[in-house]
Amino acid sequence: MLEKVGAEVLVERERIAARVRDELMAAGLPVLAPGLDPVLSQGVEVNVDPFDDDAGGVSVAWRSSPRLENCVLRAVKLNLLDDPTLAHQRVVLEAMLAAITAILMSAGFTVRDSLNDYAPFTLEVPAGPGGSPSWALRDEELTVSGRSTGVGGASDGGSES
């Protein structure tokens, strides 16, 4: 039986997963909400594995549209191995995982191909950056330029609107 990781490790995995979702959303990719029904889902899927094994940790996959996935499943079910949908889906998955890898590595994450033989076309993110992300609000964005406050919050100009 597989052992679960301790609470501290699980909290760190959840932190990395949340940060992965944020970085990919900041880049403009659609990211699935955890627990979303697969029938409705397409985009980046980020999962946290609570088990203590080589395949555990944070995994990232791309989910094509439900329509494309249904076409792939149909071709496999009917043993249509020359169906162009299968080759197309492979190209889509490889391209999206390459883009996801580039985005996450640029943001300071450690990314590698999955060690899980049962999860092809999946990435693992064993470590993430600390500190603020590049897209976080900066101090100068929080200060309104050209405006100073006097006593009681009134502007130095003497009038308030």
Rounded alpha-carbon distances, angstroms, from residue 120 to 8, 81, 133, 134, 144: 28, 18, 29, 30, 49
How do residues 64-73 score in pLDDT, each as one tens digit? 999 999 999 9
Instruction: Indicate the pLDDT class of residue 98, thresholds 50, 70 and 90.
Output: very high
Q: Is residue 39 helix, strand or coil? A: helix
Q: Does residue 4 sit in helix, strand or coil?
A: strand
Provide the residue ranges of all domains of the chain, joining segments of one domain with +: 7-130
Angstrom distance (rounded) from CA 17 to CA 14: 5
Other Cβ atoms within 10 Å of 4 Cβ, number: 13
